[in-house]
Structures are given as C-alpha cells and as structure tokens.
Amino acid sequence: MLKNAILQATERSALAVRQHRRHLHRHPEPSFAEVQSGAYVSQSLSKMGIEHTTGWCANHGAAGIVAHLHGTEPGSQFIALRADMDALPIQEVDRPHASAVQGWMHACGHDAHTACLLGAAEVLQSTTEHWQGTVQLVFQPGEEILPGGASLMVAEGALAQDAPISGPSATEARLVDGIIGQHVYPQLDSGCVGFRSGTYMAAADEVHIRILGSGGHAALPHRAVDPVVASAHIITALQTVVSRNCDPTQPAVLTFGRVSGGHARNIIPDEVILDGTLRTYDEDTAAALRIAIQRVAASTAEALGAKAEVDITIGYPPVINHPDLTNRCRKRAEELLGSDRVVDLPLRMTGEDFSFYQKMVPGCFYRLGTGGDGPGCRSGLHTASFDIDEAALKTGTAMMAWLAVTSGEE
C-alpha cells in the first residue's frame, strides 16, 4: 500500500517537479549566494504546508533550509534527505531551457537534486497516513567550494531533531538516524540507480604552490632565476610522489589544473603559481602525500635556485557509505524499481561534502541515472553541454520519498 501510494503521488507531482527543475536551471546561483534559490524552495514548501526554517548558513551569504514532515503512523524512525543548490561558473550551450544567467549554469545537476527533494516533500506530505516517524529535509548551499555547505549545516545543527537555527548542539539533541543523498549520473540510464557500500568517493585537498624566482630579460636567463622552468620541474617531480610515496594498493591522484605566471613572452617573471588537487581514500595516505609534496616542491625549487611556498588546504573527507544503511537502501530500491534497475557503482576519485554528514551519522550517497538520447543527456558533469533526461526526475522523486520512510526498517 505504501509503495503504491508513493508511486501514485509521484505521478501527481511530476509536472511540478519538472517545473521546479526548469525554474532552478534557468536561475543558477554561485556557491554561498543561493538567496533566490533558497527563497524559491521556501515558497514552494510553504505552498505545500510544510513547516521549515530558513537562514541556515546566512553568515556565509547563503540561504539554507531545513524542513520537517511527520507520519501519522506510530514509530520513531528519523531520516534526513539532502539536496544541494549551488551552480558552477560555466557558460551553458544554447538551448530552450538554458541558464538565463551569463557565465553560470547547473552543470552538476543540483537543480535536479533540489527539484526531486521538493517533489519528495510533496509526495510525503500527501501520504502521511501511510508512514511513520519523522523525515528531515536539508536543502544545502555551497557544495562546490570549501568549506562546503554540509560542514556548516552540521555545525549549525541541521541533523538534530527539529533543527532550529542556533538550536541545541549535537551532544544535547537527538540526531537523525541516518541521512540519504542522491546525485545525477549521466553514464547511467534514466530510470536506474546505483549504490556502493563502504568507501565510494575520495577526499579532496587543495594544493597551492608559489614558486619565487628572480625576473629578468628572456634573452638573459643567466641573470635571472626562472620560476617557469622551476615550476615545470616541480610539476614533473611531484608525479613521482604518488608513484613512489604512496602504497600501490591505495589509489591517489595529484593533478595541477592551473599554472599562472608571467605577462609577456620576453620577460622572465618573478613568480609562478601552481594550483592543483590531491585525491585520496584514507587519511594515512593523504597525510604522507602532504608531507612528500612539501618536501619535493621545496627541494626541487632549491636545486634550481628558486623557492617554493606550499600551502595545502585539507578539503572534504572521503564519502564512506554506511554498510547497513546502504544495503537497506539498495534492497528498498530493488523493491521499488526492480533489481534490473539497480546497479553496483565503481570507486570515484571525485569529492563530495556529503561526507561531513557521514562523519556525524550513518549516510548513504547513491547515484540517480539521468542518461538518455536527448542533447547533452550523456555529457559529463561540469561541462557546458550537460543536461539530464527529465524522465529521471520521477525516479529521483520516488526514490527519495520511498527511502526516507523505508530505509530505517529492518
């Protein structure tokens, strides 16, 4: 009866969910500036008659929201659902529903995440007589950049019962029994979902290296200390950090995506800046590589007469899915969709601040298949052509509602 009620309510909400997604997609906002997105979510929840609090992460310029729904059946299970709301600084390709904001788009599917959670809220609100316990909805800002909106939501008490702003601390209030999040996945067909128990996604550190030399005329390199040459040696040398300072059984990636230095072809600059990312799956490996990066960069620069200043910002922890909760979610997904639509996921070196919630309570982070035949529906995340097969919104809505009220059952 519960399954049928949720599926029927999902069908009724399908048009509204698509409209939510289209509106949010047309009006993307940067991380920690999701003011209009937050207002839209709040207005939508109010129209549904769902109690919620606003102003989360307000000190960082954002507008996070936490909402609560209560089933009428007796029971005490207490599950949170999370969606992120921020966009990326990418100019979207031209299409009818493209972003209306120059230079910004929802290239990571956060518009779909938020729309599905609004849909799940509507589904749960209309089926309260069929389920028990409490469901907490977390609409989170700032997933894409440090410090990560999840860390701020946790610090402000978003996982606590009734979660008032500046409310009781985690040690004084009951926390949710678990938290569930979903993320679009264009490599997986629409209508399917994917799970992985245990370690799933990597920790993500930011690596910043400033290489100081002594500038001069490009034709007189002997009178200068060339930081460009030093930077090239440092980038090459640091690739051996992974291959020679890391346990071969522990995956790790060190990539430099930005090299900045110089203003003219015939001038040796005074400095070069390297910005990169370090991805690992466990803290011991990360700690060892941080030390090695400092050592290799400094010694390589010194050998060439330059100086390297290394700053490593510790970022998001790895996403580690709680085995019991994840296995229950997978089982429930098979009950809802059929076992042929539930797949195993491989490890990913990408990062996610959902891991901050998992530091506090059991968490399950799964993938929603959004791949289809339409333009951009197989394009990668963080690309200008990315889009989703909107048929997946029904799956995402039903899954979030279904897991919220069944994943706590043994």
Check if 206 is active-site.
no
- The pLDDT assigned to 241 comes to 94
- pLDDT, tens digit (0-9, with 9 covering 90-100), for 339-367: 999 999 999 999 999 999 999 999 999 99
**CATH number at 2-202+319-406:** 3.40.630.10
Rg (CA), the chain: 23
- pLDDT, tens digit (0-9, with 9 covering 90-100), for 357-401: 999 999 999 999 999 999 999 999 999 999 999 999 999 999 999
d(CA 322, CA 56): 26
- The pLDDT assigned to 23 comes to 98
**Longest CA pairwise span in the chain (Å):** 82
- The pLDDT assigned to 37 comes to 98
The torsion defined by the Cα of 52, 53, 56 and 58, in degrees rounded to 10, comes to 130
φ, ψ (nearest 5 deg) of residue 179: -135, 140
Q: CATH second-level architecture of 203-316?
A: 2-Layer Sandwich (3.30)
- The pLDDT assigned to 170 comes to 43
Find the helix packing angle between 110-125 and 35-48, rounded to 10°.
20
| Percentage of the residues of the chain whose pLDDT score is greater than 90 | 92
**Residue of 29, 34, 86, 387 marked catalytic:** 86
147: cis peptide before it, omega within 30°?
Answer: yes
Question: In the chain, what are the domain boundaries?
Answer: 2-202+319-406, 203-316
99 has a pLDDT exceeding 90: yes
Q: Report the pLDDT averaged over residues 194-223.
A: 98
| Nearest alpha-carbon partner for 182 in 83, 91, 279 | 83
- The pLDDT assigned to 166 comes to 42
| Nearest alpha-carbon partner for 196 in 372, 363, 9 | 363
- Predicted structure pTM score: 0.92
- The pLDDT assigned to 410 comes to 60
Per the prediction, the chain carries an average pLDDT of 95
Q: Which residues contact 220 (CB under 8 A, 6 or more apart)?
A: none
- pLDDT, tens digit (0-9, with 9 covering 90-100), for 265-277: 999 999 999 999 9
Taking the mean position of all CA atoms in its chain, how far away is CA 393?
A: 18
| Nearest alpha-carbon partner for 371 in 395, 398, 406 | 395
**Residue of 143, 156, 226, 352 marked catalytic:** 143
The residues facing 211 across adjacent strands are: 272, 308
The residues facing 312 across adjacent strands are: 207
Looking at residue 296, its amino acid is V
167 has a pLDDT exceeding 70: no
Pull the structure tokens for residue 299: 């010694």
- The pLDDT assigned to 172 comes to 61
100 has a pLDDT exceeding 80: yes
142 has a pLDDT exceeding 50: yes
258 has a pLDDT exceeding 50: yes
168 has a pLDDT exceeding 50: no
- pLDDT, tens digit (0-9, with 9 covering 90-100), for 214-255: 999 999 999 999 999 999 999 999 999 999 988 889 999 999
Residue with tokens 């599905």: 116
d(CA 353, CA 315): 9
Check if 51 is active-site.
no
